Structure 1
Amino acid sequence: MADDTHVLDAPAPSASPVAVSADWTVNQDWDAYTAQDHATWDTLFARQAKLLPGRASDAWFRGLDVLKLSKPGIPDYRELNDRLGALTGWQVVAVPGLVPDDVFFDHMANRRFVAGNFIRRPDQLDYLEEPDVFHDVFGHVPMLADPVFADYLAAYGRGGQRALQMGALKNLGRLYWYTVEFGLVQEAGALRIYGSGIVSSYAESRFALDDPSPNRIGFDLKRVMRTEYRIDDFQQNYFVIPSFEELLRATVETDFAPLYAELAGEADIPVATIVEGDHVITRGTQDYARGKAG
């Protein structure tokens, strides 16, 4: 999700001849992708497809299968939307980059997922600051084929519109970060990945489940919304939901207005911190964080 450092007043001029609409969408212009672009997608896909069995959630794998994302080359959003729309009513809309928060939430509330229309260069396989088509489509879109998660994300979009009016975007943004981007789920007696920021990352797909450094903490809505996060490295907190149904329930059954009022009077919780009341699944050693600091 875009944060306020990326908010612009109007759509940025497109670097290509593709026109940018008032809602910040563009034509994906699938025919403009080069052979190298498609090869980059295939390289990233093959690497993650080999790594993720036993790591990613069943819901993510079902989405990957039913949406036929294993087809070689960058997916054509027109074909993808035919399948996705029939399943959950969602559509993928192409944007040239990060978009303002109000635009982001409006699309999401109306079951339109904004996705980049560019792909990283071959020398950027392991890190990219701005989300590209691989992060957005490979990482996010399979979960949109799951009816429960699809409902959660639409509810989040509606909540985002209200949070903007209440000045509470910082807190709500943390919910997105620790679920949609970097969430873990309990599944068949083990931890599994569903967050796009992990699923689409070769290194973090291993770190999130295998490394002893980070804390893995049972999901609690208020705790998550108090917790700071880092955007430039591996996470040192991962929050674990018991099920997607529980995540949806916690979202739609909560009155966020009094919760925001409570949060305004409480201090933020720093990254890597365990607090009283946490359901600690694994207490991290923080060796990775200390090594980076040193």
Structure 2
Amino acid sequence: MSPPEPHVANAPSPGAAPDWTIPQDWAHYTAEEHATWDTLFARQAKLLPGRASEAYLRGLDVLKLSKPGIPDFEELSERLMKLTGWQVVAVPGLVPDDAFFDHMANRRFVAGNFIRRPDQLDYLQEPDVFHDVFGHVPMLADPVFADYLVAYGQGGQRALGLDALKYLGRLYWYSVEFGLIAEPEGLRIYGSGIVSSYAESQFALDDPSPNRIGFDLARVMRTEYRIDDFQQNYFVIPSFDELLRVTVETDFAPLYEQLKAQPDIRIAEILPDDEVLTNGTQDYARSRTAIQIAQT
């Protein structure tokens, strides 16, 4: 989730409910589409042990996502409801912020019901069923993280009237999508944008290029990000309990006003009071910039 995207429709598409949900229509998936899921799943399931957080791997197991083929949302929701009260609902694509926050605040996770083509295994700009279900849903089986997303959804509803979605979107980006956590064995990934990406699952932990910085709420919400490449900053939480605590104990209204009075923090910038775990070389970002310049 990020601030409103220009390609989000103004009204639900034909056949969609007023809350933008649609039937998953599990029977409509082709054998090729199920095979695409299986290919993506096998590749990530082999890579993630020792990289993904304990909570993520535990969720992957208890939700039985290793079953071949694209998961049936009804079956998945039955398991989730017993664990944390969440359910998965299908949508045709990105939805407006008010619908997104309402679903989240009421423990409904919106997931695209389409899957990428076989020639798009490594990158797809719009989130598909693999990103949404494989990337996000295992974390919904963790009670603490499940409560964090409810609190985030409730905060999003309040932020709609405070002209603060830019800041809240950054919190989602750097936690739910691209967050790292410090576990006893070392840094681990939990953000869906990382765990669902074969390349970034390795880059986020192994590459010397990005900064890895201790999580600070205001710092995160001031920090710009990019949507079209690997991240140049990763923020590291000490625990999901701490992430939830900071979220529910913070009065966001005055915080937003403070943030509006301060400049945004540029991507890859290190501040004097940052808790820097890795001061990245930024070699990857510089090489990508050089390539882009050469192509112009």
TM-score category of the 2 structures, normalised to the smaller one: over 0.9
User: What letter matches 1:90 in structure 2?
Assistant: W
User: What letter matches 1:257 in structure 2?
Assistant: A
Matches within 5 A, 1:213-224: 213-224=209-220
- Residue among 56, 64, 68 paired with 1:60: 56
State the identity as a percent.
78
1:11 counterpart = 2:7: no
Match of 1:157 in 2: 153
Match of 2:294 in 1: none
- TM-score, normalised to structure 2, is 0.97
Using the alignment, how far apart are the partners of 2:285 and 2:2 within structure 1? 25
Matches within 5 A, 1:121-270: 121-270=117-266
Match of 2:20 in 1: 24
Aligned residues of 1:8 and 1:99 also touching (Cα < 8 A): yes
Matched residue SS, 1:272: coil
User: What letter matches 1:135 in structure 2?
Assistant: H
User: What letter matches 2:9 in structure 1?
Assistant: L
User: What letter matches 1:173 in structure 2?
Assistant: G
Aligned residues of 1:2 and 1:99 also touching (Cα < 8 A): no
Aligned residues of 1:7 and 1:101 also touching (Cα < 8 A): no
Instruction: State the Cα distance separating 1:7 from its structure 2 match.
Output: 3.6
- Residue among 69, 91, 100 paired with 1:73: 69
Unaligned stretches of 5+ residues in structure 1: 14-18
Runs of 4+ in structure 1 off by over 3 angstroms are: none
Aligned positions, number: 289
- TM-score, normalised to structure 1, is 0.97
User: What letter matches 2:63 in structure 1?
Assistant: L
Matched residue SS, 1:239: strand
Match of 1:115 in 2: 111
Using the alignment, how far apart are the partners of 2:226 and 2:174 within structure 1? 11
Aligned residues of 1:183 and 1:240 also touching (Cα < 8 A): yes
Aligned residues of 1:227 and 1:269 also touching (Cα < 8 A): yes
Instruction: State the Cα distance separating 1:2 from its structure 2 match.
Output: 4.8
User: What letter matches 2:35 in structure 1?
Assistant: A
Using the alignment, how far apart are the partners of 1:54 and 1:188 within structure 2? 12
User: What letter matches 2:205 in structure 1?
Assistant: L
Which string of whole-angstrom CA distances, capped at 9 and with x for unpartnered residues, describes residues 180-217 of structure 1? 00000001140000000000000000000000000000
**Aligned-residue CA RMSD (Å):** 0.8
Instruction: State the Cα distance separating 1:271 from its structure 2 match.
Output: 0.5
Unaligned stretches of 5+ residues in structure 2: 291-296
